[in-house]
Amino acid sequence: MLAKTFFGMEQLLATELKKLGATEVFEGNRLIKFKGDKGFMYKANLCLRNALKILKPIFEFRADNDIVFYEKLYNFDWKDILSPDETFAIDSVVHGNIFTHSLYVSQRCKDAIVDRFKKDYGKRPSVDTLHPDIRLHLHIFNNKCSLSLDTSGRSLHHRGYRSLTNIAPINEVLAAGIIQLSGWDERTDFIDPMCGSGTFLIEAAMMACKIPANLNRNEFAFEKWKDWDEALFEKIKSSQLNRVVSPEGKIYGFDKAPSALEKSTTNIKNAGLEDFIKVNRANFFHSQKMGDTPLHLLTNPPYGERLEGDINELYKNFGDTLKRSYPNTQAWMISSNFEALKFIGLRPSRKIKLFNGKLETRLCFFPIYEGTKKIHKLRNEDDKPSKN
Ligand SMILES: C[S@@+](CC[C@H](N)C(=O)[O-])C[C@H]1O[C@@H](n2cnc3c(N)ncnc32)[C@H](O)[C@@H]1O
């Protein structure tokens, strides 16, 4: 099978797949190839945090021109895949110079399927691009064509918990990947101080609780297949649910906008995580870290794409707040505004390139150590004469 993901998250997904039990795992460009049986396909769709879609290849062939392409698809044995009274859709991705238009390729594939069904059954399956029974995925690189069944349906970032979105919500799969790239241990206290609709908080809590990423989703494409095995799926789901635990650390967030608070509160409830995530209306810049224990801070601040006031000032305040009020904090933030990032006034000790939609971003790490107060205290203690 093939699991698709975002740029920069391939290694995370490969590791996740291996941990889940996949074999023959190979990393590609924004995708991972792996082997697994039907049960594993169910488990992967239910559990993977870093995958956008899982495809199951069903037919690989070569076509040097349009006529051969049509004939190969016409001659394929469709009866195990599709029935004349079902609906279908085809997504295509083309690279190379033989086939250059993805829509044209989808259209020709559709013609081949429809013509074949008309010949064999006297009737044809209909196309439904929005909610088909069977979704096919065609990938063409020069003359190499690969036809797959889309096992997931809607992209797996539709986790099912986010009914309300804020301005510029982060994609759920990207949020999960960012949390993992930041190296959060799932135990240290976690804060998103500009939490918007709560995506980082919910993904973090699901990780800490070991809740399968797509538990709240209402459907997967494979549920409409002829070989759908509901008993097998339920068995896999309940064995995953047996692993669920309560989080060890605190998970909490702030946002200064009342509308963001409303949205995050609703989404947290949708995910059933209201006992484990606390959100408050607060301005991060007027806040202070609670207690002396380590804190993992991760946020997606405004990028200045909209009219959001003085964005350089906001980034300066972000840096000042960390330095002044957040000692002993591993602070991470993602932004596409490279100019504003300079105003933080701290040198990131790591920068990871990612894309948030079309925007090239950097996930930056600012480790904030113990406050100077504490260092002075320790120094003074060192100066005291030893009792021995
Ligand atoms: C890009 S959005 C975050 C989106 C979020 N990751 C999500 O998935 O919905 C940035 C958020 O920062 C909040 N914000 C901006 N300045 C803030 C501040 N000083 N304190 C707290 N929240 C702030 C905004 O209200 C907005 O909700």
For the segment 47-58, what is each residue's pLDDT rounded down to a tens digit? 999 999 999 999
Does the beta carbon of 333 lie inside 6 Å of ligand 1? no
Per-residue pLDDT reduced to its tens digit, 202-211: 999 999 999 9
| Torsion on CA atoms 299, 300, 304, 305, rounded to nearest 10 | 180
Q: Are residues 143 and 205 in the same domain?
A: no
Q: Specify if 387 maps to a domain.
A: no
Q: Does 264 sit in the ligand 1 pocket, CB within 6 Å?
A: no
- Binding site membership of 199 for ligand 1 (Cβ less than 6 Å): yes
CATH value at residue 346 = 3.40.50.150
Cβ(169) – ligand 1 distance below 6 Å? yes
Range of the domain at 314: 172-210+246-374
State pTM to two decimals: 0.91
> Are 352 and 203 members of one domain?
yes
Instruction: Residue 14: give its domain's CATH number.
Output: 3.30.2130.30
Backbone torsion region of residue 277, taken as left when φ is above 0, otherwise alpha when ψ lies between -120 and 50, otherwise beta: beta
Please count the other Cβ atoms lying within 10 Å of the Cβ belonging to residue 365: 19
- Overall average pLDDT of the 345-350 stretch: 96
User: Can you give the pLDDT at residue 364?
Assistant: 98
Question: Does residue 164 form part of some domain?
Answer: no
Mean pLDDT, rounded, for 133-142: 96
Is the shortest distance between the CB of 259 and ligand 1 below 6 Å? no
Least reliable range by pLDDT among 9-23, 144-158, 232-246, 297-311? 297-311
For residue 329, the cross-strand partners are: 295, 368
Length of the chain: 388
Q: 255 CB less than 6 Å from ligand 1? A: yes
CB of 318 shorter than 6 A to ligand 1: no
Query: Is 196 a pocket residue for ligand 1 (Cβ < 6 Å)?
Result: yes
Q: pLDDT above 70 covers what percent of the chain?
A: 95
Assigned domain for 235 exists? no
| Residue nearest to ligand 1 atom 27, measured at CA | 196
> Could you tell me if the CB of 204 is within 6 A of ligand 1?
no
- pLDDT value for 371: 63
* 39 in Cβ contact with 94 (< 8 Å): no
Express each pLDDT in 86-96 by its tens digit: 999 999 999 99
Q: How confident is the model at residue 373 (pLDDT cuts 50, 70, 90)?
A: very low
Please give the pLDDT value at position 307.
63
To test the pocket of ligand 1, the residue of 256, 321, 363 to mutate (highest count of ligand atoms within 8 Å of its CB) is 256
- Cβ–Cβ under 8 Å, residues 330 and 294: yes
Tokens of 223: 């549920």
Atom of ligand 1 nearest to the CA of 303: 1
Which of these three, 150, 185, 202, is where a domain ends?
Answer: 150
The Cα 246–Cα 375 span in angstroms is: 34
Q: Which pLDDT score, from 0 to 100, does residue 122 have?
A: 95
Nearest ligand 1 atom, CA 166: 9
Ligand 1 geometric centre to CA of 187 (Å): 24
Q: Which of 163, 178, 194 to mutate to test the pocket of ligand 1 (most atoms within 8 A of CB)?
A: 194
Do 127 and 90 fall into the same domain? yes
Number of structural domains found in the chain: 2
Tell me: pLDDT of 99 over 70: yes
Q: For residue 158, what are the contacts with CB-CB under 8 A and spacing of at least 6?
A: 172, 217
- In this structure, is residue 14 part of a structural domain? yes
Q: Give yes or no for residue 301 CB within 6 A of ligand 1.
A: yes
